[in-house]
Structure 1
Amino acid sequence: MKVAVVTGGSSGIGHHLCKKLADQNYKVAILDVEEKEGLDLCNNLNKIYGSGSCIFCKCDVSDETSFKKSFEMTIKEWGKVDILVNNAGYWDDSPEGWRKSIDVNVKGTISGSLLAVQYMGKNHGGNGGIVLNVASILGFTVYPMMPIYASTKAAVLKFTRDMGTEHQYQLHGIKFIAMCPHGALGSKFLSNPEKKMIF
């Protein structure tokens, strides 16, 4: 049995990753602030792949306590975590909202990664595994329309590179990988680009 935790799993890229992981016989924990969408997907996956294939945890990744509780709920359910997908994202470059972009995209990714080391790391009694950090093509290209959001994704890339070194792998046995999509069909980010988005 393999177990995956996917943040921002109720829509967009996260939604598709949850479905794909379940199809590959993973037990899937969907973490999201969007409770209705997350529960709908969870119930659907349990119908398709059997009861107990999926759980939903309402989680704000910018809140370390919330994130930790979701990790612990997953481990209580299945005994371990093999893959963490740090997919949750937030876009708001406005003077009022930019801090939330950093809290979700950067702090949330780092917080999740450190939880993975704590609960999955071989140096903490775990089995190792994989952390997939969803960054963006904007992390390594110039995009003046969304400078703060793009900068958060550049930070995710840098963090993933450093955590993905051989030195780090020898410490905890976790492979760190970054994915840099251009966009995703069905993403709230694309469907309503004039507003701040959680995805």
Structure 2
Amino acid sequence: MAELFDLTGKVAVLTGASRGMGLHMATALARHGATVVIAARKQEQLDDAAAQINSAAGSGRAIAVACNIGSKEQVQALVNTARARAGPVDILIGNAGVNPYYGPTSEIPDDAYDKTMSANVQSNLWLARMVAPDMARAGGGSMMFTSSIGAFKPSTMLGTYGMSKLALIGLVRNIAAEFGPAGIRVNAICPGLVKTDFARELWDKPEVEERIRKDIPLRRLGEPEDFEGIAVFLASDASRYMTGQALTVCGGSNMWA
């Protein structure tokens, strides 16, 4: 069964991959044979992340490319660099996202709304369009995008972020339908609350973490390494008949939603 998860010779592009979930997903893909092109905004952090991946999976398995996903030109440069240095893209993980605003959606400033929707939705459409021709020529490929369980319920503080992640699931379903005839699979990963720097404001108080844990059947918050397996699964032939899905990884917290 090991061949189902074999990614030898595959090229993966991952955004938001200098730390946390993205770094763990990239490391897992590299350990299963892929060459990973990792992107985030800061080159120094990326270089450290690439060194960690190369130490874990073998020299030259990770390539670090700084990219601001809010810039279409930088996203295109990321894809061009991936092709030039590693080859045509077989796997895409759109993990980068932003949340510049906490508060009611009815009061969000226009610039914060635009930034949220551009980074969390439109940038992933850009990426999908840019790498789809590579996958089509190869007869198939896999795209996955990090959504959130926040997509499935309202919030008076994180509502616009949740809206953007619900829109991302809508994007996933549409491009899954459009790219499916070319053998390209597209899925969404919907994390619960994960102990990352990105979500630190939501969990970094002992009493808050304890209260949240009691509402999770597995009685713990997510950890970045919890996403290694699902990334390999969706990238590999193990999930070859799965597309257009939104998979929750939340310790069971979302089963009542």
Query: TM-score normalised to the size of structure 1?
Result: 0.87
Question: Residue 92 of structure 1: which of 91, 97, 100 is its match?
Answer: 100
Residue 178, structure 1, aligned to residue 188, structure 2: yes
Corresponding residue number in structure 1 for 2:128 = 113
C-alpha distance in 2 between matches for 1:105 and 1:175: 19
Residue 190, structure 1, aligned to residue 199, structure 2: yes
Corresponding residue number in structure 1 for 2:153 = 141
**Would you say the 8 A contact 1:61–1:112 is kept in 2?**
no
C-alpha distance in 2 between matches for 1:103 and 1:184: 23
More strand by share: 1
Question: Which residue type is aligned with residue 3 of structure 1?
Answer: V
C-alpha distance in 2 between matches for 1:168 and 1:72: 21
RMSD: 1.7
Q: Give how far 1:136 is off.
A: 0.6
Q: Give how far 1:49 is off.
A: 2.4
Corresponding residue number in structure 1 for 2:211 = none
Corresponding residue number in structure 2 for 1:102 = 117
**Would you say the 8 A contact 2:27–2:56 is kept in 1?**
no
Q: Give SS of 2:44's match.
A: helix
Q: Give SS of 2:162's match.
A: helix
User: What is the percent sequence identity of the aligned residues?
Assistant: 27
User: Where does the alignment leave 5 or more consecutive residues of structure 2 unmatched?
Assistant: 1-8, 102-107, 204-257
Q: Please list, as runs of the form range in 1=range in 2, the aligned pairs for 1:1-199 lying within 5 A after superposition.
A: 1-93=9-101, 94-95=108-109, 96-120=111-135, 122=136, 125-165=137-177, 168-170=179-181, 172-185=182-195, 187-193=196-202
User: Where does the alignment leave 5 or more consecutive residues of structure 1 unmatched?
Assistant: 195-199
Deviations along 1:42-101, one digit per CA (max 9) or x if unpaired, are 012223322211100001112111111111111111221111001100001252533211
Question: Which residue type is aligned with residue 108 of structure 1?
Answer: S
C-alpha distance in 2 between matches for 1:44 and 1:146: 33
Q: Give SS of 1:150's match.
A: helix
Q: Give SS of 1:55's match.
A: strand
| Length, aligned pairs only | 188
Deviations along 1:89-130, one digit per CA (max 9) or x if unpaired, are 00012525332111110111111111121332x2xx344200
Q: Give how far 1:193 is off.
A: 4.9
Q: Give SS of 1:60's match.
A: coil
Query: TM-score normalised to the size of structure 2?
Result: 0.69
Which one has the largest radius of gyration? 2
**Would you say the 8 A contact 2:31–2:56 is kept in 1?**
no
Deviations along 1:20-59, one digit per CA (max 9) or x if unpaired, are 1111111111011022221101012223322211100001
C-alpha distance in 2 between matches for 1:143 and 1:34: 31
**Would you say the 8 A contact 1:9–1:31 is kept in 2?**
yes
